[in-house]
A = this chain, B = another copy of it.
Amino acid sequence: MAKAPVLTPRADDFPRWYQELITKAELADNGPVRGTMVIRPYGYGLWERMQQEMDARIKAAGASNAYFPLFIPQSYLTREAEHVEGFAPELAVVTHGGGRELEEPVVVRPTSETIVNEYFSKWVQSYRDLPLLINQWANVVRWELRPRVFLRTTEFLWQEGHTAHATREEARDYAAYIHQEVYADFMENVLAMDVVPGRKTARERFAGAINTLTLEGMMGDGKALQLGTSHELGQNFARAFDTRYLSRDGRQEHVWQTSWGSTTRMVGALVMMHGDDRGLRVPPRLAAVQAVVVAVTGDEAVLARAGEIGDRLRTAGVRVRVDDRTDVPFGRRAVDWELKGVPVRIDVGPRDLDSGTAVLVRRIAGTREPVAVEALAALVPEALEDDHGLLLAQSRRLRESRTVDVTTVEEAAEAAGTGWARIPWAALGPEGEARLAERGVSVRCLVAADGSVPERDDQRGNVAVVARAY
């Protein structure tokens, strides 16, 4: 009798595979309030590493971290017309505090543009105060009717950047810089994710923005997931909150702004892009544990050898963990490390002692071979570097193989059943976009003919990338 697979195969039922992986790899549980989640230590460890890498990039972009309140007066939300229209249906409202009904209900922040602008108005006086570059790491709440852990949750964790600039050009350039040098760079060079940078259509823009830049990734089932967005807000919030500065030539001007965010959804993306039928595969530059040295048995000599290999790898700069939990059967631990997706496993058993070898098991390359213990300090870092490239190439190949060029709405809708379609925006337009929307298909982004990010929706040669999305 063949052993039952640990997970439902992806090809059989992708959503079920996803949920099983999240649970069995101990990434997260559903919370008691519908749509909330408990992020378990292994899942949170992924997020912590994402935070570190992102935070360093955000600081390198000149922004400083700050913290704005969770509670926003309901009246703030209504000041920017499109913004309130976009967020009103998703708000959680606090009506009672300290045992009494509140005079004005407060909303739990769904995003912080309004409250940030209230304070920018106080802090910004003159052109000398600009640019003002702020980021915050926080939780936000958007009531979800069809929640799915990490992807769409009522509460999620994120960073949200908010900046104010003297000119439209500066704001535009800064939004583009974050899009490219923070988000795209992080996703490709740390998460090993293939992402398509592009521009949202008017229909898909952030509520209150004049332009939204996005990064879209293809998940293992061919659907799309939006992975980080950077918005030009123009002067919309500046006008609503009267955020002005005294210019060099002595005039009062409204500031030009950006906002940009990325969320715990990236953990879900990691699973759906890099996961396989045996579990997660963690990109090595992200992994808190890049290599696990598994003592197959509890013999003292085996434990000593495992410890010694751990030390060698640590010295070689590898983030390593020694698994000496030999009261748990080896097979169960091996399956668990596969599920959790640690890139490199090194098994050390009694028979390896005399030969001076260990078994190097590479989760991403899918190889398994005995190697000399002496060679590990050189081999493992190479393997990790190689694995990064493999994951990135695999995700790129998946997207390329499941993307087709089409010319009609009908073809686009059909292609979106199994992957992505590329269609000239001139052939689709807002009307075609609306027809696709009726069938659950959306324009993920517009890309220019040369693959760059277009500056206008109607730029000649723009191609719409069309897909079903999470």
Contact = CB atoms under 8 A, between A and B. Distances in A.
A261 to B, nearest CB: 17
Contacts of A69: 31-33, 36-38, 155
Interface string A122-145: 100000100000100011010111
Interface residues of A, number: 56
A76 interface: yes
Given A32-B72, A119-B29, A38 B67 contact: yes
A332 B32 CA distance: 54
A368 to B, nearest CB: 28
A204 interface: no
Contact of A139 (B36, B76, B94, B138): B138
Interface in A76-100: 76, 88-99
Given A41-B64, A98-B89, A98-B145, A70 B139 contact: yes
A94 B93 contact: yes
Interface in A93-113: 93-99, 105-106, 108
Contacts of A144: 98
B92 A67 contact: no
A338 to B, nearest CB: 21
Interface string A37-68: 11111001101100000000000000011111
A186 interface: no
A25 interface: no
Contact of A66 (B40, B76, B143): B40
Interface of A: 29, 31-33, 36-41, 44-45, 47-48, 64-73, 76, 88-99, 105-106, 108, 115, 118-119, 122, 128, 134, 138-139, 141, 143-145, 154-155, 157, 327
Given A31-B71, A32-B73, A45-B65, 4 more contacts: A32-B76, A71-B154, A89-B98, A97-B143
18 contacts: A31-B71, A32-B115, A33-B72, A33-B73, A33-B106, A38-B67, A39-B66, A41-B64, A44-B66, A70-B70, A71-B92, A71-B141, A90-B98, A91-B98, A94-B95, A94-B108, A95-B95, A98-B145
